[in-house]
Amino acid sequence: MKKLIIDQTPNSPRVILDPDLNKYEIVGESRPPDVEGFYHNILDWFDDYSHYVLTREVRDPVIVNLDFDYFNSSSAKYILDFCKKIAGVRSKGKDISVKWHYEDEDTDMLQTGKEMSKMARFPFEYIKKVTKL
């Protein structure tokens, strides 16, 4: 199974989807100029990955870390689509989960995570980021 790595830019998040390292994360701001093109790569990769996971014995739990500083409404649609795809794999008995990271004071991001969890129909784990002094 191939990995998908996308470097972070000022407008798009860093993406690491690496089955060899069991590391799955999307981190940063998401407001890319071509939102559909950006997330199309991620959703296509996950379609391949879900087939891989569903047809093989995967022993380690899969934890997807979503750690957004900000995302626009166009990105939100694709992030939700991604979460729904995760829910589909989860519903087939695979140990896959989402950790939704948020800043302590960012109640909007926490609430958005809770709404995404509800719409995707599976519980997320909410991780409060520790502010470094």
What integer pLDDT is reported at residue 130 of this predicted model?
A: 79
- The domain in which residue 20 lies consists of 4-129
Range from 27-41, 51-65, 80-94 carrying the lowest mean pLDDT: 51-65
Burial of 13 (0-12, 13-18, 19+ CB in 10 A): buried
Tell me the pLDDT tens digit for each residue of 16-31. Answer: 999 999 999 999 999 9
First-last CA distance in the chain: 40
Rounded Cα distance, 74 and 89, in Å: 24
Domain count for the chain = 1
Residue count (the chain): 133
Tell me the pLDDT tens digit for each residue of 63-85. Answer: 999 999 999 999 999 999 999 99
In this structure, what CATH number is given to the domain that contains residue 16? Answer: 3.30.750
Give the largest Cα separation in the chain, rounded.
46
3-state class (DSSP) for residue 76: helix
In the numeric block, the tokens 């939100």 are attached to: 76
